[in-house]
Chain A
Amino acid sequence: MLLTLLLLCPLSGMLIVLALPRTAVRAIRAASLLSTGAALIVSLALLRGFQTSQAAMQFHERLSWIPQLNIFYSLGVDGISLPMVLLTALLGFLACLASSSITERRKEYYFLYLLLEVGMLGTFLALDLFLFYVFWEIVLVPMYFLIGIWGGGRREYSAFKFFVYTLAGSLAMLLAILALYFRAHTFDMVQLASMGHTLDLAFQRLLFFAFFLGFAVKVPVFPFHTWLPDAHVDAPTPISVLLAGVLLKMGGYGFFRIAYPILPEGAQWFAGAMAILGMINIVYGAFVAMAQTDFKRLVAYSSVSHMGFVLLGLSSFNREGLNGALLQMFNHGTITGGMFLLVGVLYERTHTRQLDAFGGLGARVPVYAGLLTFFSLASLGLPGLSGFVSEFLSLIGAFGIWVWPTMISVTGIVVAAAYMLRVMQLVLLGALNERWRTMPDITPLEVASLVPLLLVILALGCYPLLMLQIQEGSLQQLLAHVLGR
């Protein structure tokens, strides 16, 4: 029942917020913090009870939901979903902490925020394709409102673009789910995976492509990425954190959980394209990030680049690559989540995100400068911090198979170093811009929302086995299943 409890935390918080009066702002915020905090605690309890030696699903729950169609309320975690669940619960709590910057229509905000968390957690927990699809789509609606109401810039346009892009992609996925159902008469992912190799090749290719469309929009894979910079930039800070930290992972997770195990031959057929697309994501994202003058937009494009490593790792079909890809998803969530929080801190004080409007802040706000330096270095892949490990593993895994794409991808890391150092130079170094002479340093609350991420990044950078041992068993099994050994 631990997994249902995990879903119930934000769900009950949502109902409490709905019942509270509009003016009880403190109570609403307290209820939201409590429920996201409770979700974090439950997810840590999951981590405690998780058996790393076991590759199969754990904490499995299964209840009949729509018996006529063989649809179950079926939840479970394994080494692939547990990191995602932890990431979601962690960022869900920290972004809720950072939501103090939201000052209007707070009841609606926290209601939608908690609904969003239910959807995100459910997506990573569901073992039934129908249930998965329901959670997957539930995420869209609150996200639309959260960007559209509390965002900045062209928020209506960005929110709508996000909604339409993702819905169009997921409708393709819906067709694939239906086609699978009428082949196998089940929505159970584990059962479907066990039938994976019996599906004929043409069918697998077609379905893989349909699933790919659904997941590619979320990851996002070039050329489906154009919603991302708009949505990330115009969303309010805590929502940007969740968008980059969790929503993008839903796409990558879909490959691990659905497309690869259920359509193994289709996945291998697509591996080459996946490697090329990963390469394009890495290099293109990095160069476009380099050209940005808006801090948030730069971080958004760096996400495109970093998610490319996930694709590259996925295309390798070996132990290193898959481990790297999954770890990269987790690490990107913590690092970029932190970056967006830092951009938000700066924006709140200066109301600008133009990189050349800053300068010399290093001396003025030393604590902020230290944190920004740390997260920037993590983002550019400094050894000793977590981003390096996962990017390195992805590259190693892919190098043996896709030599040229991997070699070109490596240049992405060089460019990443360039744009991240440029950020530090423009924001922290140089002469202090007189406008920010009285800028206050980062508050303890803001530090509190960053420190957990910092610790995780440092810990995984020094001792990546912490996470790798969780993933290892399930990924080994996935690999053996996909390759048919």
Chain B
Amino acid sequence: MGTVILESLRAWWPEAILSLGALLVMVLGASTRRSQPALGVAWAAVLASGAALWRLHAPAGTGLFFGLIVSDPFSLALRWIAWGSVAIVLLLLMASREMERTLRGECLGLVLLVGVGLMLMAEANHLLMAYLSMELVSLSSYVLVGCLDEPRSAEAALKYLLFGALSSGIMLFGMSILFGLTRALAFPDLLRASAALDGSMTHALRVAVALLLAGLAFKISMVPFHMWTPDAYEGAPTAVAALLSVGPKAAGFALLLRLMTALEPAWPSLAPLALWLAVVTMTLGNLVALAQTNVKRLLAYSTIGQVGYLLIGVAVHTRFSLEGLLLYLVAYLFMNLGIFACAVAVVDDAGSESLEAFRGLARRAPGVALLCALFLLSLAGIPPLLGFFGKFLLFGAAIEAHLAVLAIAGIINSAVALYYYVNIIRLMYLVAPATSSPLATGPAIRWALGVCGAGTLLLGLFPGALLGMLRASAVVNLL
């Protein structure tokens, strides 16, 4: 037993370092009121974990910790995305003025723990681990959403918690039915046992899977489990909203794909449902986003719209769509964290979350405005940015699988979404600023903007290398 743990640990250093860092940061936070030491430790942990990830080479399908988690190229790609979102969000936390008073050990520690949870979600190979990792992410996020000293932050956290608890309950119910049917918890066993089911039991399986998906739908803000998203984003500190909008979405998709593979026998009857949920999710997100005047709410609905595009990758379920999904997740990481970085800068400066705060940004901070426009155009899917290439692959996958309805829905939605994305560009470039004082940005936000901008533009111009790397991770059989 000892050797198994030691062996497993070798492929698990990134998470181990991050967890230790998180605990240390929390202890530091309890003992000193200054944020500097905690920040230092947090960064040390993040960088060390990144180095450990870099040195890791994951052979296909190695079960770790008695098969609870699995380390394969697919999870490695998702772990990088989780790591990237945590690192960039740390930068945003440092830059954000609203967090100045509350940026102590607890918050930083929780962010790192979210990172651990995200990585675990990507690796989970067992229902128990899937549940635990999701709860780790959820519980940490509830607190993070409520960490501002304001009533609306607490309200948002409570709303988020209630919704989260409900969907966790539904998910657990689904899991218990599943266990009753198959007497298995590990994903490979689930696949074997569910394939052996026949007769009326397959209906029960379908019900169990549907309930299970409800829990995941909550994490990735899929309609009809999206309602918490705008409220939680609005109440949460902007940097935390940024984390919620990227990390859990990516990890949720990873877990969804793995679960789908494990429950392959139930999939054919659920595929039409997934298809329509994708269409409804993108349409609802984009249409409601049109009417938003608050930056964070707008970005929340934009997230829902983007999740709809990502769901194309799930609904199509081919090797090509998986590549598209992974690539779009990378694109989404850069462009969405980028736009949130702009939002942090603008909201901090204006003290208001109204879209009006973006007025005339091009004259007050040309660099920020240019990058902001870049991220928005990438979200809207304008070439040669990475967001376009991701959409290109996803829509292509839909056409390849003869599901043109998905591609057409995606196209129409892209045209609709253009309206609210370009509206922000209009405010920045075509409207005179309310104040003429230049908008100052600190080094942290500049780093975040620079990294996201470089990712969006350079990877968009030369997506070949990224695609080549992801191709290795995109294996349809994830078990």
Chain A residues packing against B (C-beta within 8 Å)? 65-69, 108, 133-134, 137-138, 140-141, 144-145, 148-149, 155-156, 159-160, 163-164, 167-168, 171-172, 174-175, 178-179, 181-182
Which single member of A138, A172, A178 contacts B384 (CB below 8 Å)?
Answer: A138
Q: Which residues of B contact A140 (CB under 8 A)?
A: 382
Report the minimum CB–CB distance from A431 to chain B (whole Å): 41
* Interface flag for B468 (CB, 8 Å): yes
**SS class of chain B's interface: helix, strand, loop or mixed?**
helix
- Expressed in whole angstroms, the Cα–Cα distance for A425 and B399 within the complex equals 57
Q: Which residues of A contact B471 (CB under 8 A)?
A: 68
Which single member of A155, A163, A178 contacts B399 (CB below 8 Å)?
Answer: A178
Given A66-B463, A167-B415, A168-B415, are A145 and B422 neighbors across the interface (CB < 8 Å)?
A: no
**A175 B411 Cβ-Cβ under 8 A:** yes
Q: Which residue of A lies closest to B320 (CB)?
A: A182
Q: Which residue of B lies closest to A180 (CB)?
A: B399
Q: Which residues of B contact A65 (CB under 8 A)?
A: 462, 464
- Expressed in whole angstroms, the Cα–Cα distance for A145 and B395 within the complex equals 28
- Expressed in whole angstroms, the Cα–Cα distance for A440 and B204 within the complex equals 87
Can you list 24 A-B contacts with CB-CB less than 8 angstroms, sorted by A residue number?
Answer: A68-B464, A68-B468, A134-B383, A138-B383, A138-B384, A144-B422, A148-B426, A155-B430, A160-B422, A164-B415, A164-B418, A167-B414, A167-B415, A167-B418, A171-B414, A174-B395, A174-B411, A175-B404, A175-B407, A175-B411, A178-B395, A178-B396, A179-B404, A182-B396
Report the minimum CB–CB distance from A112 to chain B (whole Å): 10
- Expressed in whole angstroms, the Cα–Cα distance for A163 and B430 within the complex equals 15
Report the minimum CB–CB distance from B423 to chain A (whole Å): 9
- Expressed in whole angstroms, the Cα–Cα distance for A168 and B415 within the complex equals 6
Given A66-B467, A133-B383, are A174 and B429 neighbors across the interface (CB < 8 Å)?
A: no
- Expressed in whole angstroms, the Cα–Cα distance for A172 and B404 within the complex equals 12
**B430 A156 Cβ-Cβ under 8 A:** yes
The residue in B362, B377, B408, B411 that gathers the most chain A C-beta atoms within 10 A of its C-beta is B411
Which single member of B388, B400, B408, B415 contacts A182 (CB below 8 Å)?
Answer: B400
**B429 A149 Cβ-Cβ under 8 A:** yes
Q: Which residues of A contact B173 (CB under 8 A)?
A: none
Q: Which residue of A lies closest to B395 (CB)?
A: A178
Q: Which residue of B lies closest to A71 (CB)?
A: B464
- Expressed in whole angstroms, the Cα–Cα distance for A88 and B464 within the complex equals 31
Q: Which residue of A lies closest to B464 (CB)?
A: A66
7 tightest Cβ-Cβ pairs between the two chains A and B? A134-B383, A66-B464, A171-B411, A178-B396, A182-B400, A168-B415, A148-B430
Further pairs besides A108-B362, A137-B383, A179-B404: 4, Cβ < 8 Å: A65-B462, A66-B467, A168-B415, A178-B396
**B418 A163 Cβ-Cβ under 8 A:** yes
**B426 A160 Cβ-Cβ under 8 A:** yes
Q: Which residues of A contact B418 (CB under 8 A)?
A: 163-164, 167
Q: Which residues of A contact B384 (CB under 8 A)?
A: 134, 138
Q: Which residues of B contact A149 (CB under 8 A)?
A: 429-430
* Interface flag for B419 (CB, 8 Å): yes
Q: Which residues of B contact A174 (CB under 8 A)?
A: 392, 395, 411
Which single member of A141, A148, A179 contacts B377 (CB below 8 Å)?
Answer: A141
Give B220-237 interface residues, CB cut-off 8 Å to A.
none
Q: Which residue of B lies closest to A67 (CB)?
A: B464
Report the minimum CB–CB distance from B140 to chain A (whole Å): 37
- Expressed in whole angstroms, the Cα–Cα distance for A160 and B463 within the complex equals 29
Total interface residues on B, CB under 8 Å, equals 29
Q: Which residue of B lies closest to A133 (CB)?
A: B383
Given A66-B464, A182-B399, are A171 and B415 neighbors across the interface (CB < 8 Å)?
A: yes
**B419 A175 Cβ-Cβ under 8 A:** no
Q: Which residue of A lies closest to B413 (CB)?
A: A171
- Expressed in whole angstroms, the Cα–Cα distance for A98 and B428 within the complex equals 27
Q: Which residues of A contact B415 (CB under 8 A)?
A: 164, 167-168, 171
The residue in B377, B399, B400 that gathers the most chain A C-beta atoms within 10 A of its C-beta is B399
**A164 B419 Cβ-Cβ under 8 A:** yes
Report the minimum CB–CB distance from B335 to chain A (whole Å): 15
Query: 1/0 per residue B69-86: CB within 8 Å of A?
Result: 000000000000000000
**A178 B467 Cβ-Cβ under 8 A:** no
Report the minimum CB–CB distance from A133 to chain B (whole Å): 7
Give B61-119 interface residues, CB cut-off 8 Å to A.
none
Query: 1/0 per residue B377-403: CB within 8 Å of A?
Result: 100001110001000100110011000
- Expressed in whole angstroms, the Cα–Cα distance for A148 and B415 within the complex equals 19
Q: Which residues of B contact A159 (CB under 8 A)?
A: 430
Report the minimum CB–CB distance from B92 to chain A (whole Å): 27
Q: Which residue of A lies closest to B467 (CB)?
A: A68
Which single member of A137, A144, A148, A175 contacts B395 (CB below 8 Å)?
Answer: A175
- Expressed in whole angstroms, the Cα–Cα distance for A164 and B380 within the complex equals 12
- Expressed in whole angstroms, the Cα–Cα distance for A168 and B467 within the complex equals 27
The residue in B382, B388, B404, B462 that gathers the most chain A C-beta atoms within 10 A of its C-beta is B382
**B429 A179 Cβ-Cβ under 8 A:** no
Q: Which residues of B contact A182 (CB under 8 A)?
A: 396, 399-400
Query: 1/0 per residue B172-189: CB within 8 Å of A?
Result: 000000000000000000
Report the minimum CB–CB distance from B380 to chain A (whole Å): 8
- Expressed in whole angstroms, the Cα–Cα distance for A68 and B388 within the complex equals 16
Q: Which residues of B contact A68 (CB under 8 A)?
A: 464, 467-468, 471
- Expressed in whole angstroms, the Cα–Cα distance for A69 and B390 within the complex equals 13
- Expressed in whole angstroms, the Cα–Cα distance for A66 and B390 within the complex equals 13
- Expressed in whole angstroms, the Cα–Cα distance for A459 and B55 within the complex equals 68
- Expressed in whole angstroms, the Cα–Cα distance for A137 and B400 within the complex equals 23
Q: Which residues of B contact A145 (CB under 8 A)?
A: 429
**A179 B399 Cβ-Cβ under 8 A:** yes
- Expressed in whole angstroms, the Cα–Cα distance for A172 and B412 within the complex equals 9
Report the minimum CB–CB distance from B286 to chain A (whole Å): 14
Q: Which residues of B contact A137 (CB under 8 A)?
A: 382-383, 388
Report the minimum CB–CB distance from A426 to chain B (whole Å): 33
**A141 B430 Cβ-Cβ under 8 A:** no
Report the minimum CB–CB distance from A409 to chain B (whole Å): 33
Query: 1/0 per residue B413-438: CB within 8 Å of A?
Result: 01100110010001001100000000
**B408 A175 Cβ-Cβ under 8 A:** yes
Q: Which residues of B contact A155 (CB under 8 A)?
A: 430
**A181 B430 Cβ-Cβ under 8 A:** no
The residue in A140, A155, A156, A182 that gathers the most chain B C-beta atoms within 10 A of its C-beta is A182
- Expressed in whole angstroms, the Cα–Cα distance for A206 and B418 within the complex equals 25
- Expressed in whole angstroms, the Cα–Cα distance for A118 and B388 within the complex equals 19
Q: Which residues of B contact A148 (CB under 8 A)?
A: 426, 429-430
Report the minimum CB–CB distance from B370 to chain A (whole Å): 10
Give B268-327 interface residues, CB cut-off 8 Å to A.
none
Report the minimum CB–CB distance from A113 to chain B (whole Å): 15
Report the minimum CB–CB distance from B417 to chain A (whole Å): 10
Report the minimum CB–CB distance from A132 to chain B (whole Å): 11
Q: Which residue of B lies closest to A172 (CB)?
A: B411
- Expressed in whole angstroms, the Cα–Cα distance for A137 and B384 within the complex equals 8
- Expressed in whole angstroms, the Cα–Cα distance for A108 and B467 within the complex equals 34
Report the minimum CB–CB distance from B459 to chain A (whole Å): 11
Report the minimum CB–CB distance from A121 to chain B (whole Å): 15
- Expressed in whole angstroms, the Cα–Cα distance for A68 and B468 within the complex equals 7
Q: Which residues of A contact B362 (CB under 8 A)?
A: 108
Q: Which residues of A contact B429 (CB under 8 A)?
A: 145, 148-149
Q: Which residues of A contact B395 (CB under 8 A)?
A: 174-175, 178
- Expressed in whole angstroms, the Cα–Cα distance for A182 and B316 within the complex equals 15
- Expressed in whole angstroms, the Cα–Cα distance for A175 and B406 within the complex equals 11
**A163 B422 Cβ-Cβ under 8 A:** yes
Report the minimum CB–CB distance from A320 to chain B (whole Å): 37
Q: Which residues of B contact A178 (CB under 8 A)?
A: 392, 395-396, 399, 407
- Expressed in whole angstroms, the Cα–Cα distance for A68 and B396 within the complex equals 14
- Expressed in whole angstroms, the Cα–Cα distance for A249 and B67 within the complex equals 62
Query: 1/0 per residue B208-246: CB within 8 Å of A?
Result: 000000000000000000000000000000000000000
Given A66-B467, A163-B418, are A175 and B383 neighbors across the interface (CB < 8 Å)?
A: no
Give B355-392 interface residues, CB cut-off 8 Å to A.
362, 377, 382-384, 388, 392
- Expressed in whole angstroms, the Cα–Cα distance for A129 and B189 within the complex equals 46
Q: Which residues of A contact B464 (CB under 8 A)?
A: 65-68
Q: Which residues of B contact A108 (CB under 8 A)?
A: 362
